[in-house]
Amino acid sequence: MTSEPKELFTIHGEAIIGPTGRPKHEFPVPEPLDSHGPGRVIAMVNQKGGVGKTTSAINLAAALAEYGRKVLMVDFDPQGALSAGLGANPHELETSVYNVMMEKSVTVNDALVSTHVPGVDLLPANIDLSAAEVQLVTEVGREQVLERALRQVRDDYDVVIIDCQPSLGLLTVNALTAAHGVVIPLVAEFFALRAVALLKDTIEKVQDRINPDLEIDGVLVTMVDLRTTHAKEVIQRIVEAFGEKVFETVIKRSVKFPDATVAAEPITNYAAKHDGAKAYRQLARELISRGGAP
Give the pLDDT confidence score for residue 1 in this predicted structure.
44
Amino acid at 237: R
d(CA 205, CA 8): 38
Enumerate residue ranges in the chain where pLDDT < 70: 1-3, 9-13
Amino acid at 268: T
Give the pLDDT confidence score for residue 289 in this predicted structure.
92
Give the torsion through C-alpha atoms of 123, 290, 5, 20, to 10 deg: 90
195 φ, ψ (degrees, to nearest 5): -75, -15
User: Which residue, 218, 210, 283, is CA-closest to 245?
Assistant: 218
Return the biggest CA–CA distance within the chain: 65
Neighbours of 6 (CB within 10 A): 11
- CATH superfamily entry for domain 6-289: P-loop containing nucleotide triphosphate hydrolases (3.40.50.300)
Domain ranges (residues) in the chain: 6-289
Amino acid at 64: L
Give the torsion through C-alpha atoms of 55, 267, 43, 66, to 10 deg: 170
Give the pLDDT confidence score for residue 13 in this predicted structure.
66
CB 221 within 8 A of CB 235: yes
CB 241 within 8 A of CB 25: no
User: Which residue, 152, 138, 206, is CA-closest to 38?
Assistant: 152
**What's the whole-model pTM score?**
0.92
Residues in a beta bridge with 163: 44, 75
Q: How far is CA 47 from the centre of its chain?
A: 13
How is the beta sheet containing 159-164 ordered, strand by strand? 113-114, 120-123, 71-76, 159-164, 40-44, 181-187, 215-224, 246-252
